[in-house]
Amino acid sequence: MVQGVGFRYFTVTEANRLGLTGWVRNRMDGSVEAEAQGEDTDISRLTARLRVGPRWSTVEHVVIDRIPLVPGERSFTVRRDRE
């Protein structure tokens, strides 16, 4: 569960620093979901940073799945929809 710790914006900031594209959103169950694409080393760096999270956060677990690339994606954004 994530509440008021800025995890989505932390994710966007870190992804942008690494030149990744994709998105992050809150889920209905209170967790955060993200999809990122870029070089494998940069994805690994983002994953490592998300395992720590922003100050005041506690990350219990991170799940990683490989998915097909999204052609034409140009930025990393916060999505407002929830699943």
pTM above 0.85, yes or no: yes
CATH architecture of the domain formed by 7-78: 2-Layer Sandwich (3.30)
Rounded-to-integer distance, Cα 14 and Cα 46, Å: 7
| pLDDT tens-digit readout, 2-56 | 655 789 999 999 999 999 999 999 998 888 999 999 999 999 999 999 999 998 8
Looking at residue 40, the DSSP 8-state letter turns out to be H
Per-residue HEC secondary structure of 47-62 comes to HHHHHHCCCCCCCCCC
Radius of gyration of the CA atoms of the chain, in A = 12
Angle at which helices 7-17 and 40-52 cross, to 10°: 150
| pLDDT tens-digit readout, 41-70 | 999 999 999 999 998 888 888 889 988 989
Residues belonging to the active site: 8, 26
Rounded-to-integer distance, Cα 34 and Cα 36, Å: 6
Annotated domain spans of the chain: 7-78
